[in-house]
């Protein structure tokens, strides 16, 4: 979409006003008409609107009037989809598959629903679970249990059709890599899904992570802006032809594992490209610990001796609920990563409080 590129380039204010006026006119026409019942057309409109609002927000030309209008249109589309599809699906309820066991023959950790509202929920994804299945995604294949099926067992199709709708990503607003852990936001209705997409586009939805990386990241390093190309089935990479991507970070502590230098980071992403944190950190020479994709094999094998998986945990989500009130959900560092942290020593006294505190609480990034 043209506005996506304009957002990356930061075009002049006059052009943005013209774009805002044109999009507002289009949305007004959509709102005054009978909202289309063509699912493909609805999905295309939702994508166009959310991408346009992301571009406005990214370029620093926030138009509150346009956001209010877009919110009304998307809520209307979502409400219409809920009315049309509710109770029209199969009565069959998916159940968790017995084959979902670890390679060692033991049951994996189970996901936990940590907050459930009327139209959306937050789930804690354990390591070793895929979020949902895509045919062309090799990370979601094989024996990895699916969070998708776990929620489908909890939310039957006749009552919650979006949880069974592949075209809308089964209600998931974002993903986490199979080895990673953390909080996942899921919409239980189409109206909530479109609302959360709007929050993603305007920066209202906050995602923060705890990461242990290689090397001592300079304390003054607060942001990474590099375009990311993420072709299906291939590794993500930094590329001038990629999509604009922005990562905020805060150095919480410098640490050591033997002679190995490490940094404890709190990270917030303002875009959601595949493997964004991992590729951005690797690009600046501070790859996350135990990252099998973006570090040398020798480094990865050395990390595996004391850390069981990629050291990346989404510890905080903040978003607006159906009433517009902000909700915040926190998740402490899982036991396996806390065990790894017990093998890490602070570089200096200034780093000691953050390292010790991490074993009790999660880290927060204030921007």
Give the bridge partners for 248, in sequence order. 223, 268
Residue 177 annotated in active site: yes
By the 8 A CB rule, do 49 and 27 touch? yes
| CATH number of 112-190, picked from 3.30.70.20, 3.30.2350.10, 3.30.70.1350, 3.40.47.10 | 3.30.2350.10
Structure tokens at 320: 């607006």
**Residue 320 pairs with which residues in a beta bridge?**
326
**Residue 186, pLDDT above cutoff 90:** yes
Please report the pLDDT score of residue 108 as a whole number: 55
Q: What is the mean pLDDT of residues 283-288?
A: 97
At what angle are helices 13-32 and 39-59 packed, to 10 degrees?
150
The string of DSSP letters for 182-233 reads EEEEEESSHHHHHHHHHHHHHT-SEEEEEEEEES---TT--EEE--EE--TT
pLDDT tens digits along 73-87: 888 888 888 888 765
Q: What is the dihedral of CA 317, 322, 323, 326, to 10 degrees?
A: 0
**Of the listed 63, 82, 119, 177, which one is catalytic?**
177
Where exactly are the structural domains of the chain? 2-85, 112-190, 204-321+332-358
Is the pLDDT at 263 greater than 60? The verdict is yes
Please report which confidence band the pLDDT of residue 67 belongs to, taking 50, 70 and 90 as the band edges.
confident
In whole angstroms, what is the distance from residue 93 CA to residue 5 CA? 42
Question: CA nearest 193: which of 23, 319, 40?
Answer: 319
DSSP secondary structure string for all residues of 14-50: HHHHHHHHHHHHHHHHHHHSPPP--HHHHHHHHHHHH
CATH number belonging to domain 204-321+332-358: 3.30.2350.10
CB within 8 Å of 333: residues ≥ 6 apart = 210, 313, 315, 341, 358, 359, 362
Same fold, 112-190 and 204-321+332-358: yes
Contact by Cβ (8 Å): 169, 202:
no
- Number of other residues whose CB lies within 10 A of the CB of residue 329: 17
Q: What does the pLDDT average to over 203-214?
A: 96
Q: Is the distance from CB of 195 to CB of 307 less than 8 angstroms?
A: no
Q: Are 74 and 197 in contact (CB under 8 A)?
A: yes
- Position 107 pLDDT exceeds 60: no
> Alpha carbon of 350 to those of 255, 295, 359: distances in Å?
10, 28, 17
As a whole number, the mean pLDDT across the chain is 84
């Amino acid at each position: 979409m043209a506005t996506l590129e304009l957002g990356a380039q930061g075009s002049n204010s006059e052009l943005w006003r013209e774009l805002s006026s044109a999009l507002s006119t289009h949305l007004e026409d959509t709102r005054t008409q009978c909202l289309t019942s063509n699912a493909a057309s609805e999905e295309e409109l939702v994508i166009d609107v959310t991408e346009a609002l992301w571009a406005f927000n990214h370029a620093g030309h926030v138009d509150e009037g346009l956001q209010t209008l877009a919110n009304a249109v998307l809520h209307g589309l979502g409400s219409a989809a809920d009315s049309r599809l509710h109770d029209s699906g199969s009565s069959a309820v998916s159940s968790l598959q017995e084959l979902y066991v670890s390679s060692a023959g033991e049951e994996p950790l189970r996901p936990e629903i940590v907050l459930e509202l009327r139209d959306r929920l937050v789930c804690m994804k354990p390591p070793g679970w895929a979020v949902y299945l895509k045919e062309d995604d090799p990370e979601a294949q094989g024996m990895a249990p699916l969070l998708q099926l776990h929620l489908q067992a909890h939310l039957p199709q006749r009552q919650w059709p979006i949880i069974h709708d592949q075209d809308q990503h089964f209600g998931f607003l974002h993903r986490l890599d199979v080895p990673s852990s953390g909080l996942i936001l899921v919409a239980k209705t189409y109206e909530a899904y479109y609302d959360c997409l709007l929050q993603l586009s305007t920066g209202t939805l906050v995602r923060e992570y705890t990461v242990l990386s290689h090397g001592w990241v300079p304390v003054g390093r607060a942001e990474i802006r590099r375009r990311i190309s993420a072709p299906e089935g291939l590794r993500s990479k930094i590329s001038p032809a990629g999509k604009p991507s922005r990562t905020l970070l805060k150095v919480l502590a410098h640490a050591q594992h033997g002679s190995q230098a490490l940094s404890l980071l709190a990270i917030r992403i303002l875009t959601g490209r595949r493997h964004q944190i991992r590729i951005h950190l690797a690009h600046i020479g501070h790859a996350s610990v135990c990252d099998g994709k973006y570090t040398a094999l020798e480094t990865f094998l050395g990390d595996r001796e004391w850390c069981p998986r990629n050291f990346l945990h989404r510890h905080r989500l903040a978003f607006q609920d159906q009433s517009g009130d902000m909700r915040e959900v926190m998740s402490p560092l899982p036991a396996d990563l806390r065990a790894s942290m017990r093998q890490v020593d602070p570089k200096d006294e200034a780093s000691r409080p953050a390292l010790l505190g991490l074993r009790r609480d999660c880290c927060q990034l204030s921007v």
